[in-house]
Amino acid sequence: MIPKKRRIPRKLFPGIILSKNIRHSKYFNLRITPYHEARLAVSVSKKVSKKAVLRNRTRRRVYAAIGPSLATLPGALYLLSAQPGAEKLKGKELLEQLAQLFKKS
Protein backbone atom coordinates (compact mmCIF):
# COMPACT_ATOMS: atom_id res chain seq x y z
CA MET A 1 0.00 0.00 0.00
CA ILE A 2 1.19 3.52 -0.66
CA PRO A 3 0.87 6.40 1.82
CA LYS A 4 -2.07 8.78 1.41
CA LYS A 5 0.21 11.74 0.73
CA ARG A 6 1.47 9.88 -2.38
CA ARG A 7 -2.06 9.38 -3.76
CA ILE A 8 -3.82 11.83 -6.03
CA PRO A 9 -6.82 13.70 -4.57
CA ARG A 10 -10.02 13.51 -6.61
CA LYS A 11 -10.00 17.26 -7.26
CA LEU A 12 -6.96 16.77 -9.56
CA PHE A 13 -8.62 14.01 -11.64
CA PRO A 14 -10.24 16.34 -14.26
CA GLY A 15 -6.88 17.86 -15.20
CA ILE A 16 -5.26 14.43 -15.50
CA ILE A 17 -8.11 13.04 -17.59
CA LEU A 18 -7.62 15.87 -20.10
CA SER A 19 -3.96 14.87 -20.44
CA LYS A 20 -3.02 13.54 -23.85
CA ASN A 21 -0.12 11.48 -22.51
CA ILE A 22 -1.74 8.01 -22.33
CA ARG A 23 -0.22 4.53 -22.29
CA HIS A 24 -2.28 1.40 -22.92
CA SER A 25 -1.91 -2.26 -22.09
CA LYS A 26 -4.35 -5.13 -22.32
CA TYR A 27 -5.76 -4.59 -18.81
CA PHE A 28 -4.78 -1.01 -17.88
CA ASN A 29 -4.64 2.57 -19.17
CA LEU A 30 -2.12 4.98 -17.67
CA ARG A 31 -2.53 8.77 -17.91
CA ILE A 32 0.51 10.87 -17.02
CA THR A 33 0.72 14.58 -16.17
CA PRO A 34 3.97 16.34 -15.13
CA TYR A 35 4.23 17.16 -11.41
CA HIS A 36 7.02 17.82 -8.91
CA GLU A 37 6.65 14.43 -7.16
CA ALA A 38 5.36 11.01 -8.12
CA ARG A 39 1.74 10.54 -7.07
CA LEU A 40 -0.60 7.72 -8.06
CA ALA A 41 -4.30 6.94 -8.20
CA VAL A 42 -6.02 3.74 -9.29
CA SER A 43 -9.49 3.80 -10.79
CA VAL A 44 -11.58 0.66 -11.26
CA SER A 45 -14.93 1.25 -12.97
CA LYS A 46 -18.11 -0.79 -12.92
CA LYS A 47 -17.16 -2.09 -16.37
CA VAL A 48 -14.59 -4.26 -14.61
CA SER A 49 -17.12 -5.72 -12.17
CA LYS A 50 -20.53 -4.75 -10.87
CA LYS A 51 -19.50 -5.97 -7.41
CA ALA A 52 -17.77 -3.40 -5.20
CA VAL A 53 -15.88 -6.18 -3.43
CA LEU A 54 -14.11 -7.18 -6.65
CA ARG A 55 -13.42 -3.57 -7.67
CA ASN A 56 -11.90 -2.77 -4.26
CA ARG A 57 -9.84 -5.97 -4.26
CA THR A 58 -8.47 -5.12 -7.69
CA ARG A 59 -7.59 -1.59 -6.57
CA ARG A 60 -5.84 -2.87 -3.41
CA ARG A 61 -3.83 -5.43 -5.41
CA VAL A 62 -2.63 -2.76 -7.82
CA TYR A 63 -1.64 -0.41 -4.99
CA ALA A 64 0.25 -3.25 -3.29
CA ALA A 65 2.05 -4.17 -6.52
CA ILE A 66 3.12 -0.60 -7.32
CA GLY A 67 3.95 0.51 -3.77
CA PRO A 68 7.59 -0.65 -3.61
CA SER A 69 8.51 0.87 -6.99
CA LEU A 70 6.74 4.22 -6.54
CA ALA A 71 9.91 5.85 -5.14
CA THR A 72 11.78 5.07 -8.38
CA LEU A 73 9.20 6.69 -10.67
CA PRO A 74 9.93 10.18 -12.03
CA GLY A 75 7.85 13.09 -10.73
CA ALA A 76 4.38 13.02 -12.31
CA LEU A 77 0.73 12.33 -11.59
CA TYR A 78 -0.15 8.78 -12.65
CA LEU A 79 -3.81 7.83 -13.08
CA LEU A 80 -4.11 4.08 -13.64
CA SER A 81 -7.49 2.87 -14.92
CA ALA A 82 -8.30 -0.84 -14.87
CA GLN A 83 -10.01 -2.48 -17.83
CA PRO A 84 -12.27 -5.55 -17.85
CA GLY A 85 -10.21 -8.66 -17.10
CA ALA A 86 -7.87 -6.88 -14.66
CA GLU A 87 -9.77 -8.35 -11.71
CA LYS A 88 -8.56 -11.82 -12.73
CA LEU A 89 -4.86 -10.91 -12.64
CA LYS A 90 -2.91 -12.18 -9.66
CA GLY A 91 0.69 -12.16 -8.49
CA LYS A 92 3.30 -12.32 -11.23
CA GLU A 93 0.85 -11.60 -14.05
CA LEU A 94 -0.21 -8.34 -12.39
CA LEU A 95 3.38 -7.30 -11.72
CA GLU A 96 4.39 -8.04 -15.33
CA GLN A 97 1.47 -6.04 -16.77
CA LEU A 98 2.25 -3.03 -14.58
CA ALA A 99 6.00 -3.24 -15.24
CA GLN A 100 5.40 -3.23 -19.01
CA LEU A 101 3.06 -0.28 -18.73
CA PHE A 102 5.43 1.82 -16.62
CA LYS A 103 8.38 0.96 -18.90
CA LYS A 104 6.48 2.53 -21.80
CA SER A 105 6.16 5.75 -19.81
If you count them, how many residues does the chain have?
105
pLDDT tens string 12-34: 888 888 888 889 888 999 999 99
C-alpha 56 chain-centroid distance: 13
At residue 105 the predicted structure's pLDDT band, cuts being 50, 70 and 90, is low
CB atoms within 10 A of CB 4: 7
Q: Which domains does the chain have, with CATH numbers?
A: 4-104 (3.30.230.10)
Question: What number of CA atoms fall less than 13 Å from residue 75's CA on the CB side?
Answer: 4
Q: What is the pTM of this model?
A: 0.86
Type of residue found at 52: A
At residue 51 the predicted structure's pLDDT band, cuts being 50, 70 and 90, is very high
